[in-house]
Structures are given as C-alpha cells and as structure tokens.
Chains A and B, each alone.
Chain A
Amino acid sequence: MRMKVFLGLVSLSFLLPQILVSEDIAIDVQGTYLTFSYDYNQIYGENVELDSDFCHVYADYIKIDVTSRLFLAVGNVVLEKNGVLSSCDEFLFNPEEKDGLLIRYKETIQFEKLGERGESSLFSHLGFFENVNLLRFQKSFISFTGQHFTITKGYDVYGYDVTMYIEGLESVGLRKFKLSEGIQQGRNGFYLNSIWYNRSQGITTRAGFLYDKENTINSRTQIYYEEHSILKDYEGLKRQVDVTTSTSLNLSESLNLGILGNYNSSTQWNAQFVLNKRWGAQNHTQIDFAYNNPLNRDQEAWLGLESKLYGGKFGNLFFSGRYELHNQVLANFSYTHTPLKNVNVLLNSSYSQLRMGDSLEKSRIFTGNLKLSYGTKVFNLSSDYYLNQDLFGHQMLSQPQLRFALNTFQLYDGLLSASFNNIFIYNRFKTDELRKDGYSNNTIFNLSSQSISVRKNLILNFNLAVEQFFEKEGRNFTSGGFIFKVKQILTKGVSLEGFYSVHSRRKSENWFIEGTTSQDLSTVLRVNPAENLNGWISFSYDPKNSQWRQSFADISIGLLKNWQFHSLTNYDFLLKKLNNVDLYLIRDMGRFQIRLMWRSLSKQFLIELIPK
C-alpha cells in the first residue's frame, strides 16, 4: 500500500508537468540554407525569412542564440511590424522581451529602437555574435542542416527535412526532428545525462525529467540506473535503480509546497511534504511531514516545525524541532545578536533523542555553544564556551576557549605580509566516577613575501611559518617551515620553477628535545609555446637523504575540430616504477564534453559525457 502511495506520488510529480508542457510554435524560420549547432544551441541561416509574433523579417543572414533568446539579422534587412515596413543593415532583437534595435551604416551609425520597452537592453549585446560564424557550426560535433526550422514558445527547436551531421560527416536524414533535444537539456523535458561503462559498476546511466514554469512550478525527477549483470564475478544485485523526485509549487507569493521523494531498488524509500510560509522579506516558518522506509530498520514518520525570525537590532532567532512517532526528538535553537559595534554574540544549542540501532533505548545528547567576539581592523578577540552532555551515558565535556588573532598586516610597502594567531583551550571531562581537567595553547606566526622580480625573467618569493604548542600533559612541540620559490622565464611560453622547502618539528619535554626535519627540492618545467600545446614535467628530490622521490608529467595537445589529447603520468623513483598513466581524448562540444579515458592503475577504459 505504502509503495503504491510512493509510486503514485512519483507519477503525480512526473505527469503534472507533462500535462502543462506546451509545444506552440512561436517562431518560423525559412531560408535557402539553415544550420543548427547542437553543441552551442545556435542557428545560422542564409537568405532568410523569419516570422514571429514580434515582427516579420527578411535578411541575407541570420544568427540565433537560442539559449539567450538573441537574434541578429544581417544584410539587406527588411522587417514588417504592424503593417509598417522598415529596412536596415542589421537588426538585433529579442522576441521574448519584444525588444529590437535597427542599425544602419550610413555617414554615421544610426540606431532605431523597436518594441515596447522604454530602454533597450540590446546595446550591451551588440558584440554578442562576433565569433558566431558558419565555420563554428561546421566544426560542431552534432549539427543539422535544412531549409525550415521552427522554435516553440518553450524555445525548443524543430527542423523539417533536416540532415544530421556528426563531426562534419553527413549522417541520417530526419523528416521532423527536435533539434535542441539530445544528451542533456537544461530546460523543460526529458534529458539523458550520461551513459558509461566501467569494470566496477557495469553500465550506468542517468536520465531525468525537468519542468520549470517561472514563479509557478519547478519539478525535477532523476533516475540513476546501474546494470551489473554484464560483469563477471559481481557479487551484489544484478541491477540497481535510484529515483529522486522534487517538485516545488508556489501556491501564492508567500506560500510554497514541496513534494520530495527518493526510491532505491534495494527497497529503501522516503517521501516528504514541506509547506513553507514567508513572513515579510526575511522571516519564514516551515512545516514538514516525512515518511522513511530505511533498509533493515523500522519505518519512521517525522513531523517538523522550523522558523527563522529576523529581529533587526534585537537579533535573529532560529528554531527547528522534529518529532517522530516512536518518541524520537531532534531540536535546534540559535540566536545571533550584535549589541555593540564590532561585538557579536552567538548562542546555539541542540538536543537529540534517537534510537540506538535495533534496541528500544534512546541516546540523549545536549550540546550548547556560546560565543562572544570583538573584531577591529587590527585584531579579533573571541571567547567560546562549548558544552556537550550525554544524558544517557552520563558524560559531560565543557570547553572554554579564548582566541586572539592579528589580522594580516603588510610590511615594507606590501613586500611582506604577516599574521599571528593564538588559541587557548581549557577542557573539563566529567563522568559519574571521574573528573579530568586539561588545557592547551597553540601559537602560530606566518610571514610571506610577494613575488620579487630580481632581474629580468627571474622571480622569487618565500613563506615562513612557526608554531608553538603546549599543554598540561606536557606533549609540547615547536615546529617551523620555510618554502622558497624561484621562477625563471627561459623564453616565450617556457619557464623553469624551483621549490625548496624545509620543515622541522621539535618535541620539548622539560630538558629533553627530540624531533624530525624533512626537506624537499622540486623543479617544474612548464611549456606553453602555442595555444594548442600545454605541458609540464616535475621532479621531486629529498636533499636530506639524497634521494629522488617522484616525477609527474602532464601534456595537453589540441587536435583537429576541438579534439584534445591529454595525458598525466606519475613515476615513483623509490619503487622504481611507473605508478599511473592517464590518457584522455576529449571533445569539447559547447554544451557538453565527451571524454574517452584510459587509466593504467585501475586498467579501466571509461567513456564519459559531461554536461557543462
């Protein structure tokens, strides 16, 4: 029965948006040549006639960016609006906002506004299409050509008698096809996010459905599927499905209803209804009901109330409480206030009463924290009191703290910058039989330099840090570290970098001092002579033990048509072996990226579709 309720809920949130989806045609484009780039969600056309509610346009060329709703008609443009004919050299317009700008190149550049908007926002988009040319479309991974496209009110693009091109090669012909739908769609409708195979999970796929209507409804359902049956020696379930659904419905300007659901094929599921009421600009109250069906545990039904109140000069208050029908409780309270300039007060506490595993007993834990802080331009001072009381286990930890920090300050006209921090903590741990007190203090000083140009093409900088720690138990230590960095630019696009770091940690107990010191010397050669070639190689050396440690190499080469080869290699000198080689073949496709990947470490070949 409960499962039916859940499935009903998923179906409702899934079907409701579908019913509301409209496919009314808003814009009709015809031309001697039209092409749509799926990668960039853009249209280019020649000898075009465009018909829309806003106006009727004839032009030599047209460029359309579907995502931003920007249209540019170029060359011998003739447009008709309300029976009035106008001509111009360029016409930039946004039919959704009914905003247009006619541009004429005469003895001066003449601009003429068209539309109902008082001030055109199109002036700031004049340069938008400068890099949108036919070549960009021809280099797209997926593109379509035809002579008749339509654009719906939801800005989905349909093509009639179109030819599909994949990587510039002519593919199938399609009589009517939704061009803008494909691997993923950021707007309303179904989308397929990724399909890939790997040896640990088998075939995995992620798909979903999205419906969004501004200020009314937002619904998103996602399905994640794993097929394991094709894997040898896989011991778990043959397949696994995860469904997540979330619908948010605005009932009025200040009242919002949320329906959330999760389902996992291992029989776990949960559903939640949330009603949120806003009071004024910043206050809100939320009531929610959640039903959980966890794996191997009893089902739970939670009722919650949450409220946030902004009291201006009296401070801000937050309260949240949740009660479960098996007498489980969760409560949170917080209060923030600024009583004086630079003085802040924060008080928060929480209480939880939850079942412990399968037993009928419940843990009961109370925590509280009070923080008082004072901040100026030079320093910050704060005191904290933290309390954790386990009412079931009869244990209590109280911890007052005092923190002092000097804000980062500059020396020698900003050449050096320094910071200082100190934290003092006092602990008291108490049980029925035991009481234990302790304290510790930690001081940290940091000094760093800006990049200093010693001579042409030679840059240096350094960083120094010192830390002193002491505590009641006597496990005191002093540590210090120094990093020195030098960069020599050898020629255009080629540079050599060197790093030297030394770190020492000394434990001091009465008269006894012991500790360790480590050193590292690294060098990196960076090569970036051209836009399509980028690489670096690094070596790491331990001067103290006279040992080479590791080497990394990374190279990225731009190939044809937005294809890119990338490799990452790691060699371990201590083990004397190649640790890992990652090889990537990447195709950048505007809205998403295809990555073919080989990993030597896991001996995996992966194909990934990554939405951008």
Chain B
Amino acid sequence: MKKKLLLVVCVGIVFHCVGCITFRIIPSYPVEGYVESVSLCRGIDEKEGELLTPLDIRAEFSANEDNIICFVALKNINRKIQLRWKWYAPDKALSRDSGNVVINKEESQLETLTAYDELMLNLREEDKIVGQWTVVVLLDNQLIARRLFEVK
C-alpha cells in the first residue's frame, strides 16, 4: 500500500517537474468592452429602464422595408466610449456614416450596454438597394465587428 502511495506521489512530482501540470498559472483576461452581439433586425423593443432588445433578427430583408437596424450589445464597459456605424451599399460605396456617437458619458460601470443605428432604406434609390450590404461597427474608431446582409 505504502509502495503504491509512494509511486503515485513520485509520478505526480515527475509530471509537475516535467511541466505537464502546474497548480497555478496567472490567467490572462480579455480587454474590457468586448462585443456580446451584433445583429441586424427590423425593430427594437425599447422598455423604459431596461436594456434594448432587437426584434425580428434576420440576414435578409425586403427592398420594401422602411429601415434596417444594426443592434450592438457590448459587455463590461466602465468608461466613456464612441460608437460608429458605417453602411456600405451593394456597389461597395459608403451609403451612411453615423459618425461617432458618445455613450456612457457618466463613465458608469455597465455590465451590458446596448445601442443601435438605423439605415433608412426608403430614402434610397430603389435600383441601388438590392444586393449584398455591409455594415461595420467601430468602437473608439477601432473596427470591432462587420455584418453582411441581403436586400431582395
């Protein structure tokens, strides 16, 4: 019995020394303000005092839609940030630039932050809206997400 115990201890020491197992490595953590979700939808559920919720999430839209929404949820925000949406039409040209929108001016500690931007489809020429669109989202002028969607 003692021999077996000794063998187990020796094997454990060997594994530890060889480097297979260590009992504590200081883990690294992701930067704050990372993307939880970016989605395209037809509407937003805006209840007072609650986080925004996207309604009817999809990747294909009809050319008859009035508007298309790009919804963003970010995690772990504790400073003032700038969000920006750039919408590119099927001909790859920039169709809308929201410019930088300042959020969380109070620099609150937010576990989740939600925001959105709208593309007014009905204001655009009909022959230029059908095809594959691209929307990119920038956080403090750094690209954080890109989504493709189809207008038919």
Contacts and interface: CB of A to CB of B under 8 A. Distances in A.
Contacts of B148: 126-127, 130
A32 B23 contact: no
B88 interface: yes
Contacts of B20: 174-177
A551 B69 CA distance: 46
Contact of B93 (A107, A170, A175): A107
A164 to B, nearest CB: 9
B134 interface: yes
A175 B35 contact: no
Contact of B30 (A33, A126, A173, A177): A33
Interface in A19-54: 32-35, 46-47
Interface of B: 19-25, 27-31, 34-38, 75, 86, 88, 92-94, 134, 136, 142-144, 146-148
A140 interface: no
A172 B21 contact: yes
A162 B27 CA distance: 7
A146 B86 CA distance: 33
B34 A32 contact: no
Given A105-B86, A175-B20, A90 B28 contact: no
Given A75-B142, A90-B146, A146 B28 contact: yes
B35 A133 contact: yes
Given A172-B21, A175-B20, A107 B28 contact: no
B13 to A, nearest CB: 14
A174 B94 contact: no
Contacts of A84: none
A161 B21 CA distance: 10
B30 to A, nearest CB: 5
Interface of B is mostly: strand
A176 B19 contact: yes
B28 A147 contact: yes
Chain A residues touching B, range: 35 or more
Given A76-B142, A172-B23, 19 more contacts: A33-B29, A34-B28, A46-B31, A74-B146, A75-B142, A90-B143, A105-B143, A107-B94, A108-B88, A108-B93, A109-B134, A126-B148, A134-B34, A134-B35, A135-B37, A146-B28, A173-B21, A173-B25, A174-B21
A170 B19 contact: no
Contacts of A74: 143-144, 146
A471 interface: no
Interface in A93-126: 105-110, 126
A390 interface: no
A105 B136 contact: yes
Nearest to B31: A46
B22 A174 contact: yes
A89 interface: yes
Nearest to A131: B37
Given A109-B88, A170-B27, A133 B37 contact: yes
Interface of A: 32-35, 46-47, 60-61, 74-76, 89-90, 105-110, 126-127, 130, 133-135, 145-147, 161-163, 170, 172-177
A126 B144 CA distance: 15
Contact of A173 (B22, B29, B31, B143): B22
21 contacts: A32-B28, A34-B28, A61-B144, A75-B144, A108-B93, A108-B94, A109-B88, A109-B134, A133-B35, A133-B37, A146-B28, A163-B27, A170-B27, A172-B21, A172-B22, A173-B21, A173-B23, A174-B21, A174-B22, A175-B25, A176-B20
A145 B30 CA distance: 10
Contacts of A173: 21-25
Contacts of B146: 74, 90, 130
A109 B86 CA distance: 11
Q: Chain A CB within 10 Å — which of B28, B34, B86 has the most?
A: B28
Nearest to A172: B21
A145 B143 CA distance: 23
A173 B22 CA distance: 5
A133 B39 CA distance: 12
B88 A60 contact: no
A147 B28 CA distance: 7
Q: Chain A CB within 10 Å — which of B21, B31, B94, B143 has the most?
A: B143
Contacts of A106: 94
Nearest to A161: B25
B38 to A, nearest CB: 8
Q: Chain A CB within 10 Å — which of B27, B88, B142, B144 has the most?
A: B27
A18 B68 CA distance: 55
A117 to B, nearest CB: 22
A555 B35 CA distance: 33
Contacts of A34: 28
Contact of A89 (B27, B35, B36, B143): B143
Contacts of B23: 172-173
A130 B36 CA distance: 12
A35 B29 CA distance: 9
Closest 3 CB pairs of A and B: A173-B25, A175-B19, A163-B27
A128 to B, nearest CB: 10
Contacts of B24: 173
Contacts of A130: 38, 146-148
A109 B92 contact: yes
Contact of A60 (B25, B27, B86, B142): B142
A134 B30 contact: yes
Contacts of B29: 33
A76 B144 CA distance: 10
B88 A163 contact: no
B21 A75 contact: no
Given A108-B88, A126-B148, A175 B30 contact: no
A372 B147 CA distance: 58
Contacts of A35: 30
Contacts of B19: 175-176
A461 B88 CA distance: 47
A46 B30 contact: yes
Nearest to A47: B31
Nearest to A61: B144
A145 B27 contact: yes
B36 A135 contact: yes
Contacts of A145: 27-28
Contacts of B35: 133-134
A553 to B, nearest CB: 31
Contacts of A147: 28
